[in-house]
């Protein structure tokens, strides 16, 4: 895909990774339509629609609005999500010794249900318009199974399965589906979810001895969009770290 002039939806555009992806796409000449639950209106060069990607009615309304503003959608980059750390069993917490079902539901909804709902809406529009486009989903190194992140790891493993299934279903329609699996990225959300001691240990275990910069993850998104024979796979941007 030639990015200049293309209309690309970035879900989670108000987040730390989403804003980096939106900026990289804008710099490359794309027409970027942001979608986020936390923001609306104009943010720099990115027009952002406020919507809940996990709610079908909200997602359809947002895509309708984006199509009215920009016309046919060429690609979706789904950066929305929620990092959460919680052990399966915590005997030191007498109030709640098991992983909470409420947090499980919230993490699965934010990371997996949102990708399914918004992705299905955009894929339908692309197929109906005969658009040969791309969907880029965000997985994580945690998809391999990160202790202390039951819900988050399960959601991201689901993203990678969804990517493989959709690539096979949508490929004949000319729609590619790729997942990006970052390692630990230097953002406030990462530092909120992982304490400094644990981050220091992760840096030590990473061959490159540091966290990723958001711009480095955005570069992987550009590569996925521009590589027209790439589909059904997960690109690992993890500095060589193996969990």
Residues 6+ apart with CB under 8 A from 225: 1, 3, 8, 75, 77, 134, 136
d(CA 166, CA 152): 21
d(CA 240, CA 243): 10
Residues 6+ apart with CB under 8 A from 220: 180, 182, 235, 237
d(CA 5, CA 13): 19
d(CA 48, CA 66): 9
Return the SS3 of 184. coil
Return the SS3 of 78. strand
Q: How distant, in Å, are the alpha carbons of 20, 171, 228, 232 from that of 2?
A: 19, 18, 9, 20
At 173, phi and psi to the nearest 5? Answer: -90, 0
Residues with catalytic annotation? 152
Q: How distant, in Å, are the alpha carbons of 85, 89, 92, 100, 107 from that of 95?
A: 17, 12, 9, 11, 21
């Amino acid at each position: 895909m030639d990015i200049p002039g293309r209309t690309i939806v970035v879900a989670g555009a108000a987040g730390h990774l989403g804003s980096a992806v939106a900026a990289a796409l804008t710099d490359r000449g794309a027409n970027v339509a942001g979608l986020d639950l936390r923001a609306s209106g104009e943010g720099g060069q990115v027009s952002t629609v406020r919507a809940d990607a996990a709610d079908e009615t909200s997602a359809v309304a947002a895509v309708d609005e984006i199509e009215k503003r920009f016309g046919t959608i060429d690609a979706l980059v789904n950066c929305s999500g929620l990092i959460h750390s919680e052990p399966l069993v915590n005997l030191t917490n007498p109030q709640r010794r098991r992983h909470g079902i409420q947090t499980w539901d919230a993490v699965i909804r934010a990371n997996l249900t949102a990708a399914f709902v918004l992705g299905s809406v955009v894929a339908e529009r692309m197929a109906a318009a005969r658009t040969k486009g791309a969907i880029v989903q965000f997985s994580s190194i945690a998809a391999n199974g990160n202790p202390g992140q039951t819900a988050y790891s399960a959601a991201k493993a689901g993203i990678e399965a969804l990517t493989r299934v959709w690539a096979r279903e949508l490929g004949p329609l000319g729609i590619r589906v790729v997942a990006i699996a970052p390692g630990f990225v230097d953002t406030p959300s990462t530092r909120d979810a992982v304490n400094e001691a644990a981050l220091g240990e992760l840096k030590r275990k990473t061959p490159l001895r540091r966290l990723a910069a958001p711009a480095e993850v955005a570069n992987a998104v550009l590569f996925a969009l521009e590589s027209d024979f790439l589909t059904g796979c997960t690109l690992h941007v993890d500095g060589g770290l193996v969990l």
